[in-house]
Amino acid sequence: MSDKLPDLIDPLLFAERRSILSGAIKVAALGRLSDLVLADDGEVKVEVLFAKQGKQALISGSIKATLVLECQSCLQALSWPIDLSFKLGVVSSLQEAEKLEVDCEPLLFDGEKVSLNELIEDEILLALPDYPKHGYDCIPRRSSTDAEFDGESRTKTNNPFSVLAKLKKTGE
Ligand SMILES: [Zn+2]
Protein backbone atom coordinates (compact mmCIF):
# COMPACT_ATOMS: atom_id res chain seq x y z
CA MET A 1 0.00 0.00 0.00
CA SER A 2 1.26 3.42 -0.88
CA ASP A 3 2.55 5.49 1.99
CA LYS A 4 1.70 8.68 0.18
CA LEU A 5 -1.71 10.04 0.99
CA PRO A 6 -3.68 12.26 -1.36
CA ASP A 7 -4.44 15.66 0.13
CA LEU A 8 -7.53 16.86 -1.72
CA ILE A 9 -10.27 14.27 -1.85
CA ASP A 10 -13.91 13.98 -2.83
CA PRO A 11 -15.39 12.27 0.24
CA LEU A 12 -18.58 11.19 -1.54
CA LEU A 13 -16.66 9.52 -4.33
CA PHE A 14 -14.34 7.83 -1.84
CA ALA A 15 -17.37 6.66 0.16
CA GLU A 16 -18.98 5.30 -2.99
CA ARG A 17 -15.81 3.32 -3.69
CA ARG A 18 -15.42 2.35 -0.03
CA SER A 19 -11.82 3.45 -0.24
CA ILE A 20 -9.28 2.83 2.46
CA LEU A 21 -6.36 5.20 2.78
CA SER A 22 -3.38 4.33 4.88
CA GLY A 23 -0.13 6.17 5.19
CA ALA A 24 1.75 8.93 6.90
CA ILE A 25 1.65 12.69 6.87
CA LYS A 26 4.68 14.71 7.87
CA VAL A 27 4.07 16.93 10.88
CA ALA A 28 5.84 19.72 8.95
CA ALA A 29 3.11 19.51 6.30
CA LEU A 30 0.49 20.42 8.90
CA GLY A 31 1.00 24.15 9.32
CA ARG A 32 -1.08 24.83 12.42
CA LEU A 33 0.18 21.74 14.21
CA SER A 34 3.83 22.36 13.37
CA ASP A 35 3.48 25.80 14.98
CA LEU A 36 2.51 24.10 18.23
CA VAL A 37 5.16 21.43 18.46
CA LEU A 38 8.80 21.82 19.44
CA ALA A 39 9.96 19.39 16.74
CA ASP A 40 8.15 19.02 13.45
CA ASP A 41 10.32 16.28 11.95
CA GLY A 42 7.95 13.48 12.94
CA GLU A 43 5.12 11.81 11.11
CA VAL A 44 1.48 11.19 11.76
CA LYS A 45 0.29 7.68 10.91
CA VAL A 46 -3.17 7.71 9.47
CA GLU A 47 -5.73 5.15 8.42
CA VAL A 48 -8.98 6.40 6.92
CA LEU A 49 -11.95 4.29 5.88
CA PHE A 50 -14.70 5.60 3.67
CA ALA A 51 -18.08 3.90 3.80
CA LYS A 52 -21.77 4.37 3.24
CA GLN A 53 -24.56 3.62 5.68
CA GLY A 54 -27.70 3.82 3.59
CA LYS A 55 -27.28 7.15 1.83
CA GLN A 56 -25.01 8.56 4.51
CA ALA A 57 -21.35 8.82 3.57
CA LEU A 58 -19.09 8.13 6.52
CA ILE A 59 -15.41 8.66 7.14
CA SER A 60 -13.81 6.90 10.05
CA GLY A 61 -10.20 6.48 10.90
CA SER A 62 -7.37 6.44 13.32
CA ILE A 63 -4.47 8.77 13.90
CA LYS A 64 -1.25 7.83 15.66
CA ALA A 65 1.71 10.02 16.35
CA THR A 66 4.16 11.02 19.02
CA LEU A 67 4.36 14.77 19.14
CA VAL A 68 6.86 16.89 20.99
CA LEU A 69 4.95 19.58 22.82
CA GLU A 70 6.20 22.24 25.21
CA CYS A 71 5.31 21.47 28.82
CA GLN A 72 3.41 24.48 30.17
CA SER A 73 4.91 23.99 33.64
CA CYS A 74 8.63 23.69 32.95
CA LEU A 75 8.71 24.77 29.27
CA GLN A 76 10.76 21.68 28.40
CA ALA A 77 10.03 19.14 25.69
CA LEU A 78 7.13 16.87 26.44
CA SER A 79 6.59 13.70 24.44
CA TRP A 80 2.88 13.48 23.76
CA PRO A 81 1.48 10.30 22.24
CA ILE A 82 -1.58 10.68 20.05
CA ASP A 83 -3.74 7.64 19.45
CA LEU A 84 -7.22 8.66 18.49
CA SER A 85 -10.04 7.54 16.31
CA PHE A 86 -12.71 9.62 14.66
CA LYS A 87 -15.96 9.18 12.80
CA LEU A 88 -17.38 11.81 10.51
CA GLY A 89 -20.63 11.96 8.58
CA VAL A 90 -20.46 13.89 5.31
CA VAL A 91 -23.31 16.41 5.29
CA SER A 92 -24.31 19.34 3.12
CA SER A 93 -26.50 21.18 5.62
CA LEU A 94 -27.10 21.65 9.35
CA GLN A 95 -30.39 19.74 9.07
CA GLU A 96 -28.47 16.76 7.76
CA ALA A 97 -25.92 17.16 10.54
CA GLU A 98 -28.65 16.90 13.17
CA LYS A 99 -29.69 13.51 11.83
CA LEU A 100 -26.27 11.99 12.38
CA GLU A 101 -25.73 9.41 15.07
CA VAL A 102 -24.36 10.82 18.31
CA ASP A 103 -20.91 9.29 17.92
CA CYS A 104 -20.57 10.89 14.50
CA GLU A 105 -19.26 14.41 13.92
CA PRO A 106 -20.52 16.33 10.90
CA LEU A 107 -18.17 17.16 8.06
CA LEU A 108 -19.74 19.95 6.07
CA PHE A 109 -19.13 19.28 2.39
CA ASP A 110 -20.13 21.84 -0.21
CA GLY A 111 -19.03 19.89 -3.27
CA GLU A 112 -15.50 21.27 -3.27
CA LYS A 113 -12.77 18.82 -2.47
CA VAL A 114 -11.83 18.28 1.15
CA SER A 115 -8.25 18.50 2.35
CA LEU A 116 -7.44 15.24 4.08
CA ASN A 117 -4.44 16.89 5.75
CA GLU A 118 -6.63 19.60 7.26
CA LEU A 119 -9.20 17.07 8.35
CA ILE A 120 -6.54 15.04 10.15
CA GLU A 121 -4.97 18.18 11.57
CA ASP A 122 -8.35 19.33 12.94
CA GLU A 123 -8.81 16.01 14.72
CA ILE A 124 -5.34 16.21 16.28
CA LEU A 125 -5.79 19.84 17.37
CA LEU A 126 -9.12 18.96 19.00
CA ALA A 127 -7.44 16.17 20.94
CA LEU A 128 -4.52 18.25 22.20
CA PRO A 129 -4.80 19.68 25.72
CA ASP A 130 -4.79 23.46 26.13
CA TYR A 131 -2.06 23.25 28.74
CA PRO A 132 0.04 20.14 28.17
CA LYS A 133 2.10 19.23 31.21
CA HIS A 134 4.41 16.44 32.30
CA GLY A 135 2.61 13.73 34.23
CA TYR A 136 5.00 14.21 37.14
CA ASP A 137 6.15 17.17 39.21
CA CYS A 138 8.60 18.58 36.67
CA ILE A 139 9.28 21.93 38.32
CA PRO A 140 12.22 21.88 40.77
CA ARG A 141 11.15 21.66 44.42
CA ARG A 142 10.76 24.87 46.35
CA SER A 143 13.82 26.19 48.17
CA SER A 144 14.65 25.21 51.77
CA THR A 145 13.56 28.66 52.99
CA ASP A 146 10.04 27.81 51.88
CA ALA A 147 10.23 24.47 53.64
CA GLU A 148 11.35 26.16 56.88
CA PHE A 149 8.50 28.62 56.63
CA ASP A 150 6.10 25.72 56.25
CA GLY A 151 7.49 24.07 59.36
CA GLU A 152 7.18 27.27 61.35
CA SER A 153 3.58 27.91 60.39
CA ARG A 154 2.69 24.34 61.33
CA THR A 155 4.14 24.86 64.82
CA LYS A 156 2.15 28.07 65.14
CA THR A 157 -1.12 26.40 64.19
CA ASN A 158 -0.46 23.73 66.77
CA ASN A 159 0.13 26.27 69.53
CA PRO A 160 -3.44 27.47 70.16
CA PHE A 161 -4.46 23.93 71.01
CA SER A 162 -1.74 23.47 73.60
CA VAL A 163 -2.62 26.87 75.04
CA LEU A 164 -6.30 25.88 75.19
CA ALA A 165 -5.38 22.64 76.88
CA LYS A 166 -3.40 24.56 79.51
CA LEU A 167 -6.26 27.02 80.10
CA LYS A 168 -8.68 24.18 80.59
CA LYS A 169 -6.48 22.60 83.19
CA THR A 170 -6.02 25.85 85.15
CA GLY A 171 -9.76 26.59 84.96
CA GLU A 172 -10.72 23.39 86.75
ZN1 LIG B 1 7.25 19.84 32.58
Distance 133 CA to ligand 1 centre (A): 5
Judge whether 122 lies within some domain: yes
Residue 84 lies in a domain: yes
Tell whether 61 is covered by a domain: yes
Q: Are residues 46 and 88 in the same domain?
A: yes
Is there a single domain that holds both residue 90 and residue 155? no
Same domain assignment for residues 155 and 100: no
Name the CA radius of gyration of the chain, rounded: 27
Q: Specify the pTM.
A: 0.76
Ligand 1 midpoint to CA 140 (Å): 10
- Beta carbons of 107 and 14 less than 8 angstroms apart: no
> Are residues 24 and 104 located together in one domain of the fold?
yes
Q: What is the pLDDT of residues 133-155, one digit of tens each?
A: 999 999 876 655 554 454 444 44
Residue 136 forms part of a structural domain: no
Cα(52) to centroid of ligand 1, in Å?
Answer: 44
Question: For position 161, what pLDDT does the model report?
Answer: 54
User: 75 lies in a domain?
Assistant: yes
| Ligand 1: centre distance to CA 63 (Å) | 25
Asked if residue 55 and residue 120 are part of one domain, the reply reads yes
Residue 46 lies in a domain: yes
Q: What is the structure's pLDDT at 168?
A: 58
- The answer on 73 and 119 residing in a single domain is yes
105-137 per-residue burial string, b: 16 or more CB within 10 A, e: under 16:
bbbebeeeebebbebbbbbbeeeeeeeeeeeee
Instruction: Compute CA 74 distance to the chain's CA centroid, rounded to the nearest angstrom.
Output: 19
Q: What is the distance in A from the centroid of ligand 1 to the CA of 37?
A: 14
| pLDDT on residue 104 | 94
The one-character DSSP state at 130 is: S
Domain range enclosing 167: 141-172
Ligand 1 center–CA 100 separation, angstroms: 40
Give the CA distances from residue 136 to residues 71, 73, 133, in Å, rounded to whole numbers and listed in that order.
Answer: 11, 10, 8
Provide the number of structural domains found in the chain.
2
* Mean predicted confidence (pLDDT) in 6-24: 96
Whether residues 159 and 107 fall in one domain: no
- Are the beta carbons of 90 and 59 closer than 8 angstroms? yes
| Residue 1 located in a structural domain | no
Whether 169 and 87 share a structural domain: no
Q: Tell me the H-state helices in the chain.
A: 11-16, 31-36, 94-98, 116-127, 144-171
Give residue-wise pLDDT tens across range 25-79. 999 999 999 999 999 999 999 999 999 999 999 999 999 999 999 999 999 999 9
For residue 131, the CA-to-ligand 1 centroid distance in Å is: 11
139 Cα to the center of ligand 1, angstroms: 6
Q: Is there a single domain that holds both residue 106 and residue 38?
A: yes
For 78-106, what is the mean pLDDT? Answer: 95
Q: Do the domain assignments include residue 58?
A: yes
Calculate how far, in angstroms, residue 67's C-alpha sits from the geometric centre of ligand 1: 15
